[in-house]
Each structure stands twice: as C-alpha cells, then as structure tokens.
A and B are shown apart, each in its own frame.
Chain A
C-alpha cells in the first residue's frame, strides 16, 4: 500500500493505527513506526504532521519503532506515559498529559542517534536563496523563537533542533519538524503571527509551558533538498538591550559549533575536516539582541547574498 498524507486519514483511523499495529510516519529521510495507547497523540499528530506521508498500516522497513504507552506502578497511581525504543527507555516516565512533547523529544533522540554518520549540531537551521543559516545556542538564547519567526516569513525550515551536516558533501540535510516554543515565546509568536498554527500549550513540563508550531507545507515538501551553509549566527537574547553584533573568524565559529555538536567525540579526523569545509564559505556572527523585531531586521539585511 502506497503512503498517504496524514491529512487524508480520519481521527479515528489515526487513533486505530497508533493503538494497534502502528502508524508509519515519514519524517525527512527517516521512517518511524509509532504506537501509542494513551489516546493523546492522534490529535497533535494530525495537526502538526498533516503534510507528511504516512503508512496507516506498517509496511517494509522503519528506522525507528517507537512506543508511547501508558504505565502505572500501582492501581491507585496516576497514569504516566513511557517512551520505548526497541526495548530501551532513555527518558523517564512523564505525566500522561505530556504524551505529545515526549513524542517530539523521543523523535529528536532517535534522529540524532541514527544520524551518527553525519555531524549533528544542536541548533536550529533555516534556508533562503539556497543557503542555510545555522543558529546554534544554549537554552534561553532565543533560537527557537527566532527560528519559528523566520520560518513564518520567507525562510524555509530545515530543523528547529538538529542541524545534520553530511560528512560526504558538507550539505545540511533537512528534517523539518514542528517548532517547539517555550514559555513567553508562545505568546510572542502568537502576537507576531496570529495566523500561525500552534498547538494548545502543555504546562508543567520540565521545560515549562510548551507549544508547537506546525511547519509550513512548503518546508515539508522540500525535505529532500539539502543546501550548503551560508551563515552561522550565534544568537544571545538579553531583554531590553540594543542589538550588537560581531563578525567571527571561521576558526572561532568552528570551535563554537563543535561545542554544540552532539557527536563531537565520535567525529574523528575526517569528520572534523568535513565540518570545517562545510563552513569555509560561510559568514559567521555573534549577535546579542533585546527584541524579536530587531534581530529579524538584522537577519534580513545581513543574511542575504551580496550582488
């Protein structure tokens, strides 16, 4: 049976697939077989992954077979949700209401782990004019808010969490997924982009309140188009400050990138050289900013090819 768009499946049929043999979800170059008996995953998947190809019934090979099942230790205990990947659970059990965030975190884990032959950087990455803009940053840097904003304008989403750089050709491999928004960024995006398709916030996660923005359809459909790195920008949000920026030598940018690389210890000589080559043509900056509008203007002006 050929894959179909998730949007073409009815809510009961998605729930049926998840609860029994699994729903096959095609995400970037990966195929995940997802099962869940919580009853809380079908709705967010239909909202956020509606443009993705899926298999209502398992067929063929899957890169990940992942389960999100409800568990409780005692009959009187509250139900929790447990993530299982091939018999292992790298995450602790969470309250049942956090089934969907756990799905997104679990899929991040799977994609990062399965991409070991590439360089995996903890950063958001978007594309415009055929060049990728890589946005590494620690929690609180504002990279997810910035990424969501850029993708809701004229930048293509490649990933909001993992920049996967091929060691063979240095190109960024897109794995577009819903963009996670935390805390105050939820209202910021709602206010700036009232037509954005956001899930209702889920509160009290270990990251605070969290909501997800559906990736633009065009980004999902272009997931098979890798691009070279044109810009590396290290954002740092500091409320109330004027925007200041500093061009970075690529040697320094490379060192900062490697601090954000998940599999740096496994890179080896060839991986290091490949990452260095991938930014040889890039413009690199560190930017400190105090409001979303100023950083968007700066990106629009600075991250544009010179003619």
Chain B
C-alpha cells in the first residue's frame, strides 16, 4: 500500500494515551508516554474504546521494558481495553 503524496497525520488522545492516524490507513499506533509501550490496532477498536467510559488505573508502567516486548497488537475493542489495563493507562 503506497501512501498518497501529501498524506497527513492526525493525533487523538484518550487520557494519557496518544493515538496517531495516518490518512488513507485503517490502523492506529497508540503510545503510552512513560511506558515506552506501543499498540497497533484498528481504527474501529480505538474509536469504540474512546466512546466508552474510563478504564481504571490498575497497573504500573515499566519504561525499561526490552525493545522486543514494546509493540503489541489489538484486533478488537476488548483486546485494546485489556492492553490498556495491562499498561495501567489512565484514560481520563
């Protein structure tokens, strides 16, 4: 999939989670500052989570996670919410 010239990038936030969306693509990259964690998910899952209420802060962040463990993928709304819980991300 070649991107189109003049492609843009947009950012959305949910609490401390930052999502980036590149025009013409269906995937989002989500970043949790302070944790060095990354999540790749579908735009639909992200939109569904954003439309819900906050996920409680239940975990702790580990900024020293090895590089190979940083990237995670979520294929559904529930999977994304589970990842946020694991990362202890505050969504409000």
- The interface of chain A, by Cβ under 8 A from chain B, is 247-252, 254-256, 258-260, 264-265, 267-269, 272-273, 276-277, 280-283, 306
Contact = CB atoms under 8 A, between A and B. Distances in A.
Interface stretch (B26-34, B47-55, B75-83): B26-34
A252 B41 CA distance: 9
Nearest to B65: A265
Contacts of B7: 250, 280-281
Interface in B1-27: 1-3, 5-9, 11, 18, 20-22, 25-27
B87 interface: no
Contacts of A283: 2-3
B11 A273 contact: yes
Nearest 3 pairs of A and B residues by beta carbon: A251-B27, A265-B63, A251-B29
A250 B25 contact: yes
Nearest to B29: A251
Chief secondary structure at chain A's binding surface? helix
B25 A272 contact: no
B33 A272 contact: yes
Nearest to B35: A265
15 contacts: A247-B1, A247-B2, A249-B22, A250-B7, A250-B9, A251-B20, A255-B38, A256-B71, A258-B31, A258-B36, A258-B70, A259-B38, A259-B71, A268-B33, A272-B33
Contact of B9 (A264, A268, A277): A277
B12 to A, nearest CB: 11
